[in-house]
Amino acid sequence: MNNAGIGNFASFNEMEVLEWTRMIEVNVLGVYYATKLVLPYLIANNDEDIINISSTAGLSGNANTSAYSASKFTVIGMSQALTKEVRKDNTRISTLTPSTIATDMTLDLGITDGNPDKVLQPENFAELITADLKLSRRAMLANASIWSTNP
C-alpha cells in the first residue's frame, strides 16, 4: 500500500518551487519508488495487490491546491497506466481517493476539526481497503472514492 503523502496549500503564485518539488517527490516519486521496488516480486507471485492512495483532490482541483492536486492526479494516471501493464500477471492495482479524513495532517493543517459525527475517520477508510482486498481474484476495484456524508 502506497499511502505516504504531504499537503501544503497556497495559491499557484505564492507556493515556492521547492515546496512544489517536495510535494511531487513525496506524493508521486514515493509511490513510484515503492512500486518499482516490489513490482517484480508481485508479478512473480502472480496473485498480488497494490493499493495506491490518492485523494478526491486528484479528481477535481480547487483553488490553492494546484501542487497537491497535480501530485494526486499523477498518482491516478500512473496507477491506470500500470494497471494496463500488470493485469495480465494477476496483479491488481486499486487507486483509492478519499475526501478529508481526520488524520494528523488534516488536523494540523486546519482542514478539518475531525468531528467523528461528520468527518471520515481512519477506520472508515480501513473498511474500504478491507472490502477491496476481500474481492474475489476475478474482480478488481480499479478506483473508488469515499466521502464524508455531511461534513
Residue 56 contacts residue 68 (beta carbons within 8 Å): no
Q: Which residues pair with 136 in a beta bridge?
A: none
What is the residue type of 27? N
Catalytic annotation, residues:
68
Half-sphere exposure of 77 (CA within 13 A, CB side): 9
Residue 15 contacts residue 67 (beta carbons within 8 Å): yes
Nearest to 110 by CA among 23, 21, 9: 9
